[in-house]
Amino acid sequence: MARAGLTAQRLTEAAAELADEVGFENVTVSALARRFGVKDASLYSHVRNARDLRVRTSALALAELADRAAAALAGRSGKDALVAFADAYRDYATSHPGRYAAAQLEIDPDTVAAEPARRHAELTRAVLRGYALPEPAETDAVRLLHSTFHGYVSLERGGGFSHQTRTADASWAAALDALDTLLRQWPEPRK
């Protein structure tokens, strides 16, 4: 019999909280069971296994990130949309480091995380509409934005910018200015 109050959603939310506290890599069924004061077996009626728990946590994180990005993008286009989207991304990574790590999980397109991942990708493409990039340039630009944002927040969170006198915020703003310039002057694709 399932323990009263435990649901897949409640376990997923607790796993996301735990990820922010101890790191996504430390979220296990055992750690979550300890949090609820139950045996591991009590959780298996709600999640199939550790991978299922991790995918559910990734889906939650991707949905939260997409919600923040959508709110930030409302009514914006061009550089304003780019900056709002980038800032929402960076703020989420900073305020929810474990969830952000969960959002980077490689997922199968047939999992619960597939829809939030698609929504996040669509929002990235919405930012790029203001730049009118044809394919394959748009796909290349989506990859560039994700790589730039992820690389920046990963280095920043790891202390990679702490040895400089220029603030990370100032460099972030400069990076976004440079991305805007690049997106407005995107080169012709190589043959």
pLDDT in tens, 24-78: 999 999 999 999 999 988 888 899 898 999 999 999 999 999 999 999 999 999 9
Which domains are seen in the chain, by residue range?
57-185 (1.10.357.10)
Output the six-digit token pair for 34: 């300890």
pLDDT in tens, 80-139: 999 999 999 999 999 999 999 999 998 888 877 788 888 989 999 999 999 999 999 999
Where b means 16+ CB within 10 Å and e means fewer, 60-69 reads bbbbbbbbbb
Q: Is the peptide bond before 134 cis (omega within 30 degrees of 0)?
A: no
37: left (phi > 0), else alpha (psi -120 to 50), else beta? left
